[in-house]
Amino acid sequence: MNFADPETYRSGINRVLISEDEIKEAIKKAGKMISDSYDGRPLLLVSVLKGAFVFLADLCRAVDVPCEIDFMEAKSYYADTKSSGSVAITMDLKHDISKYHVIIVEDIIDTGRTLSEVIKLLKAREPLSLRVITLLDKPSRRVVELEADYSLFTIPDLFVIGYGLDYGEYYRNLPYIAEYSEGGGEDA
């Protein structure tokens, strides 16, 4: 598909599932919960790139206690709408996490394979504690036993875009979460 064409781009947005305002309100609550839980403790927020970078940016601004951030990249989708089943860590953290309470900031938990591998890797590095917060949870697709410590939204088995989530590297800039439609759908 030629996403550079505005009409083709718009046709991929089927319908808005979670509005910008709903996201902002949920992040405000999550930021307060993290602030209350980690006040006075060394806190590291770890974003799993690329999808979670938008969520991390807004979440860290909603946290009003000192925290640091770091990034890692793990891939399982490549340029498709279904997980490949193969997880690759393509960029690792810079921090020694043994000195921190670590919160993995994830965009979406789908099959759970990617996050499960990230958790195993980070647990082996012996952080003071390790928790997971996810913007979106899709439990109907889970193939490994995994639950986030905190999920902002639970969604049905749909391929979603926006707010950092993409299809073929497009749609990350949408300020809301929408259902992607390969054949086109309703305009958002």
- The set of catalytic residues is 110
Q: Is 79 strand, coil or helix?
A: coil
Residue 173 tokens, joined: 């800039």
For residues 114 and 104, the answer to whether their CB atoms sit within 8 Å is no
For residues 153 and 45, the answer to whether their CB atoms sit within 8 Å is no
* Cis preceding-peptide flag for 82 (omega within 30 of 0): no
Which residues, other chains included, contact 147 with Cβ-Cβ below 8 Å and sequence gap of 6+?
Answer: none
For residues 12 and 182, the answer to whether their CB atoms sit within 8 Å is yes
Q: Which residues pair with 103 in a beta bridge?
A: 45, 131
| CA gap 137, 90 in Å, rounded | 23
| CA gap 137, 170 in Å, rounded | 21
